[in-house]
Structure 1
Amino acid sequence: MASHYVVRHVDRAAPETVAALRAAGVATAHEAAGRIGLLGPAVRARQSGVTIAGSAITVSCHPGDNLMIHAAVEVCRPGDILVVTTTSPSTDGMFGDLLATSLRARGVLGLVIDAGVRDIATLREMGFPVWSRAIHAQGTVKASPGSVNVPVVADGQIVRPGDIVVADDDGVLALPATRGAEVAAAADRRLAAEAHKREQLASGTLGVDLYDLRPLLAELGVRYVDRLPS
C-alpha cells in the first residue's frame, strides 16, 4: 500500500517578500524570476480584479474525492493559499462555499485547484477568490486517501509546500520561497523601468524606437515602403 501523509509544518517565506511579489503581480514576477514557475492557462481566475500572494499548502487528492481538502484545512495558517491537485485529470466540483467558509476561518487567502469548483456565485459574493480548471456542479465523495504538503503538479507546474504563490487575472505563479527575496528585488527594478517606459510611450515615443527595433527589422529583411509594388 502506498504511503499517504498530512505534513503539519512547512517553511514559509517572509511576509514582506510575499507582499512585494503580490504588488508586482504574476506577469512581472514571472519575468523577474527568469520565466519559471508559471502554471498553464487552464487554471484561471474565476473572478476579476483580485490579486493574492501567500504560502502554498499543497493537497493531492483522488479524482472526484475531496477528503484530503478537509484534512488540509487543519494545517493552514493565516496568509496561506491552498493548492489542490488530483492524481488523474478531473473537472468535478471538489470545492464550494462550505469549504471556503472553513478556510476563511483559518485565514486562508484563496484556492488554486487543478480541478473543478462549484457554488461559484456564492464564492464571488463571499469574496473568496479561486483559480480553477473548471466550474462544474458535479459533486464528490470523501473516501480515498491522499496527501497534504507534498510536492504536486498543477497544470504542468511543480508546486512544493511553502512555495510563494502569486495569483491574479493573468494566471498563477509558484516560486521557491528561497528565491523570493531575489525575485522581489528584480521585480521592483522591472516595475521602475516599466514606469519610465510607460511615460515615454504616453508621450508618443514609438515602441520600435524605445526598444531600438529598427536595426532588427532591417536585419530580418523587413522593408518600409509607401505602397506595395505593382
Structure 2
Amino acid sequence: MNPVVVTDIARADAATTGALGVHGVATVHEAMGRTGLVGPGIRPIQDGVRVAGTAVTVLSWPGDNLMIHAAIEQCREGDLLVVATTSPSSDGAFGDLFATALQARGVRGLVTATGVRDVADLRAMGFPVWSSAVHAQGTVKATPGSVNVPVVVAGATVRPGDVVVADDDGVVVVPRERAAEVLAAADARVAKEEADRAAYASGAELSLDRKGLRPLLADLGVEYLTQAQHEARNAGLDAGRGTER
C-alpha cells in the first residue's frame, strides 16, 4: 500500500456512538453476536473509564510516530484515535503532548497496538488510553505510513469511521454500517438483564429456571444425588475396583 492520508472519512452517527458507549464493551460484544473484540493484550492505563468514539486510524512503522502527527489534523470532536503498526512494537510512541493536542480537538481517547509513556500525566489529564504496553522508549519520525485506512489491532479490524467502545473490560469495534442495528440489540439485551436482575434480587427465581437450563443439565447427563447417595455410589465403585485388583 502506498502511503496515504484520507481526509474525508464517513463516520458513524454521533448519537448512536454515544449510546453504544453507555452500554459498554461486554454488552455491545454480546449484542453483536460475540464479535468485534480487540484481543486482551490491549489494556487500559486507567480504571473506571468508559468511552466510545468514531475511529481515526493510523498505520505506522514500528518505532516511528510520524503518522500520529499527521493523524491529529484529521481528528475532530467525538473521534477516538486507533494506532497500529506494520509489525509488533512496544515503543512509547504516544505521550502527554499528543494527548494535549487531541484533547483540544475533542478526541475521546486512544487505542494503540504500541506502547505509551507519560502515563502519570495522561491519567492526570483524564485522557483515556488502551495500549499494548507502557514503555519509556521513544520513537523517531522518519518513515511514511497511512492515516484513515483499515488497520488490525490485536486481531480486530478497525476501519475509519467505525465505532470503538472501550472500558475496563477491553475494546470492541462496531462496523459503521451496523451501529444502529447493534444499538437496538444492545438496548434489548440491557432490558432483559434488568428484568433478570430484579428477579434474582428478589429471590423469586434462580438463573437455572429463568434461563431454562435444567433440561440442558439433564440432557448432558448431570444427576442430582443426595450426599448419602453419592457416598454410596462412590463406595460401590471403590469396592468394584478392589475386586478387580
Q: With structure 2 as the length reference, what TM-score do the two structures score?
A: 0.91
Of all paired residues, the percent bearing the same amino acid is 62
Match of 2:74 in 1: 75
Match of 1:214 in 2: 214
Match of 1:7 in 2: 6
For 1:129, the aligned partner's letter is: P
Q: CA deviation at 1:161?
A: 0.5
Distance 1:58 1:89 in 2: 16
For 1:225, the aligned partner's letter is: L
More helix per residue = 2
Match of 1:17 in 2: 16
For 1:87, the aligned partner's letter is: T
Aligned counterparts, 1:1-230, within 5 A: 3-204=2-203, 205-227=205-227, 228-229=230-231, 230=235
Distance 2:25 2:217 in 1: 30
Q: CA deviation at 1:98?
A: 0.7
Distance 1:23 1:52 in 2: 8
Q: CA deviation at 1:164?
A: 0.6
Distance 1:75 1:15 in 2: 17
Give SS of 1:114's match.
strand
Q: CA deviation at 1:226?
A: 2.0
For 1:111, the aligned partner's letter is: L
Distance 2:49 2:56 in 1: 20
Distance 1:14 1:59 in 2: 21
Report which of the two structures shows the higher radius of gyration computed on alpha carbons.
2
Gaps of 5+ in 1: none
Q: Deviation per CA, 1:175-212, whole angstroms, max 9, x where unpaired? A: 11111111111111111000000011112222111211
For 1:141, the aligned partner's letter is: V
Give SS of 1:183's match.
helix
Match of 2:243 in 1: none
Q: Deviation per CA, 1:71-106, whole angstroms, max 9, x where unpaired? A: 100010001000000100111111000110011111
Give SS of 1:138's match.
coil
How many residues of Structure 1 are paired with residues of Structure 2 in the alignment?
229
Q: CA deviation at 1:44?
A: 1.2
Gaps of 5+ in 2: 236-245
Distance 1:23 1:86 in 2: 29
Distance 1:190 1:183 in 2: 10
Give SS of 2:93's match.
coil
Give SS of 1:94's match.
strand
Q: Deviation per CA, 1:136-178, whole angstroms, max 9, x where unpaired? A: 1111111111000000000011100000111111111111111
Q: CA deviation at 1:33?
A: 1.2
Distance 2:56 2:65 in 1: 15
Structural RMSD (CA)? 0.9
Q: CA deviation at 1:127?
A: 0.3
